[in-house]
Structures are given as C-alpha cells and as structure tokens.
Amino acid sequence: MPSFPVLVLNSGSSSIKFSVYETGGEERTRLLEGEAEGIGTDQGKFHINDANGAKHIEQAQPLPTLATAFALVADALKSGKFPVPQAIGHRMVAGGPTVVENQRITPALIDEMERYTAFAPLHTPIAIFIMRESLRLFPGLPNFVCLDTWFHRTLPATARELPIPQEYSEIGVRRYGAHGISYESIVYQLQPNVPEKLVVAHLGNGCSISAIRNGVCIDTSMGLTPTGGLISGTRTGDIDPGVLLFILRKIAKTTQNASEAADKLETAVAKQAGLLGVSGVSNDMRDLRAAIAQDNVRARLAVDQFVYTIRKWIGAYVAVLDGLDMLVFTGGIGVYSSETRAEICSGLEALGIVLDSERNQTSKYDQARGAAIISAVNSPAIVRVIPPAEDLMIVNHVLRLLAN
C-alpha cells in the first residue's frame, strides 16, 4: 500500500497544534506531532516530535501573529525533512446552520462558514484564517473541514431547538453542541462493545457532557456556542439570561456602541468567568488543586460548583437515557484529575455509579487498550477513563471523504 501522509490541524487562540499520520489501507500511524505556541507574544515556542517523543525541532522565537506561526509550521512540513502531506484535515468547532457535513474546503465554503463566526467566536476566526492560509501555502492539496457539531447532528428536536421566538430559530439559533470529535472518538474506541446507555463527560479547558444511545448522540450540554452547558475554565456555562441583561445594561452605561458592548459581555461570560471567575486564581485545575491545598476558599468554591454542576447533568442524562450502562471521563481534567473524578462520583450510587477508589487513584489509562475501568466490581454502571483521539477521527474522515 503506498504511503499517504495526512496532516491534521487543530488551532486554538494562542497555539496551532498539528500531527501527521501515515495512512494506507486500514493502517493509521502517527508519525509526528507538533505545536506552535505562545502566538501573539515574543515568547513563542515551536516543536516537532516523532511518535516516540523524540524531538526533531525545538526552538524558541517570537510569534507575533497567527500568520508567522502558521508559516513556520508550513515551512517545516515542506522542508523535505518530513513526509510531505497529501491531504489536510482541519478541526472546526462550528460551521453554522448551512455547513453541517464534513467536506472538502473551497474558498466559497470558508466564506459561508465565516458568516457564522458568532456561533464559536473564540475559535472560528482562527480556524478560518488557518484554512485560507492552508489553501494558499499548500496549493493543490485537498483540505477538509471536520466539524465538532457533526456528532451532534442526530439530536432530536426536543434537545436541539431552543425556547426562543421563531424569528431566531429560523435563522439557525439552536443547540449545536461541541467537542463532537472527542465524543466520536470515545464511541470509536469503545467499539465493538458500545454500551446502549452511555454518558461521556469531556472535561478539559472547555467542558461538556453528552447522552449517547447506541453510539448516537441524543443530548449534549453545550448550546449554540461552547459558552453554554457546564461551567468551564473561563466560561459560565448555562446561566439565567437575566444575568446577561444585567451585565449588558451595566456595560451600556460605558458605551453607546452595541458591538463593543457585545464584545465586553462576551469577554465577561466566556473569558473571565467559570473556574477562573469564581476562584480568582486560575482556570487550570492543577492550580486550583494547589490553591485548595493552601486552604484557598474561593478555589474550593469554584471546584465545588464545577463538581456539583456535573453531578446534576449526569443525573439529568441518566433520566434522558432511562438508565446508565457506562460513564466515561475524558479531556485533561477527566483523564488526569482523579480527585475531581472521585468528587463527581461520590454519592451517585443511586444512579448505579460506584467507584473503586484505588483503581481511580492509580488509573494510568492503559495506552494499549485505550481505556481503564475505575468502577467497583459491583458497580451497576461501568466507569472508564479514555483519552480522546480527535486527530485519528479527523484522519478517518479525510480518508473517507477522499474515497468518496
């Protein structure tokens, strides 16, 4: 089978992450992973490692703009030192109401998705920029968009539609969900034994939870944007709309410009809220745990609220699924914070969730099996820790779309 390297691009607000997979037939081998981080600062870093962690490139340099950072990535990949990609997959949080299928990227498709920047305002402008640059810097290569919303396209109308006036639902204001590629990767890793009644909690910088029946998503916590649902590192999650109006009216006293006011409101609810807002310490669970160890009361409150909200959503999804076969933790907090998992699960015996505290503590998820069971032997529901495999899912979509 001839070698067919596929590049996966996953960009965030201050970093571009990427990986290259060697593919051919059923084979998917990660050859490289890399990151340009610290974008917008003069403290930028750039690295490319191989799959065994050996460093091929490691350098520090100013990365004043996204353009300089992406040029660095493209130059390295075209340098001849690495397998040259034959196709590119882009992670995209939300494509809007008209772009719901993963597909080949054209300039017209990028323009269409750009109309709905407000559906993922922290992510979309960056992803759009990288797509345009990618078409320019890798001319002739097929580029594909892989949407986080794709996994949630199966939501029934009751979960999908929002209780708002029709003039807004008609223009696409509804629940789209996010983290879909992560959820898809959990279902993929559970194959061929995907449980009927599955709840997956993706707890990372952004946090969400989904109810999945027989591998099909039937409800998810994020809404129109990734700001809804669970409390996240810097986002409120679901909140009384009256709070937004109160803040907006306060902002309106300082500016007559509606768009400026919207930007300030967005900063308040999406960048300064959540774990960071409540704790005043950090949005990072590691910092919060360290602060709690120093008896920081605000950090304790932030984590308690976080845990409490997730417990309520788990309960809601057990009701939605009419029972629970398996609960999976994923995302940085879900995979690495045994304390947080223990706090979430304690007292959920009535829902069939009984952790084995030793397994939970010692859970180093097993890379070979891709999963570790942390529930007690007598637990009615199985509880697992499974790291997401988003890049692999994107590679699979790229190959499927190319074959079509």
Q: Which residues bind ligand AMP (CB under 6 A)?
A: 204-205, 233, 284-286, 331-333, 336-337
Nearer to ligand AMP, 81 or 286 (CB): 286
Q: How many whole angstroms separate alpha carbon 136 and alpha carbon 139?
A: 6
Q: Which of 203, 212, 268 is nearest to 235 (CA)?
A: 268
SS3 28: strand
DSSP string of 191-239, one letter each residue: TT---SEEEEEEESSSEEEEEEETTEEEEES--SSTTSSS--SS---S-
Nearest approach, Cβ of 123 to ligand AMP (angstroms)?
13
Joined tokens for residue 211: 């109810």
Question: DSSP class of residue 397?
Answer: H
Nearer to ligand AMP, 133 or 391 (CB): 391
Cis amide prior to 192 (ω within 30 degrees): yes
Query: By the 8 A CB rule, do 335 and 364 touch?
Result: no
Count other C-beta atoms under 10 Å from residue 370's C-beta: 16
Q: Which of 187, 256, 266 is nearest to 228 (CA)?
A: 266
Nearest approach, Cβ of 335 to ligand AMP (angstroms)?
8
Nearest approach, Cβ of 336 to ligand AMP (angstroms)?
3
Catalytic, out of 50, 75, 111, 148: 148
Nearer to ligand AMP, 102 or 337 (CB): 337
Nearest approach, Cβ of 314 to ligand AMP (angstroms)?
19
- CA dihedral defined by 236, 240, 245, 250, rounded to 10 degrees? -60
Q: Torsions phi, psi of 134, nearest 5?
A: -65, -40
Nearest approach, Cβ of 196 to ligand AMP (angstroms)?
27
Nearest approach, Cβ of 58 to ligand AMP (angstroms)?
20
Q: How far is CA 46 from CA 61, 85, 137, 197, 206, in A?
A: 8, 19, 19, 42, 24
Q: How far is CA 10 from CA 252, 260, 277, 324, 391, in A?
A: 36, 29, 27, 32, 8
Nearest approach, Cβ of 179 to ligand AMP (angstroms)?
9
Nearer to ligand AMP, 177 or 233 (CB): 233
Nearer to ligand AMP, 77 or 285 (CB): 285
* 148 among known catalytic residues: yes
Q: Torsions phi, psi of 23, nearest 5?
A: -130, 165
Nearer to ligand AMP, 146 or 333 (CB): 333
Q: How many whole angstroms separate alpha carbon 210 and alpha carbon 220?
A: 4
Q: How many residues does the chain have?
A: 404
Which position's Cβ is nearest ligand AMP?
332
Q: Torsions phi, psi of 105, nearest 5?
A: -85, 130
Nearer to ligand AMP, 277 or 332 (CB): 332
Active site (catalytic) residues: 148
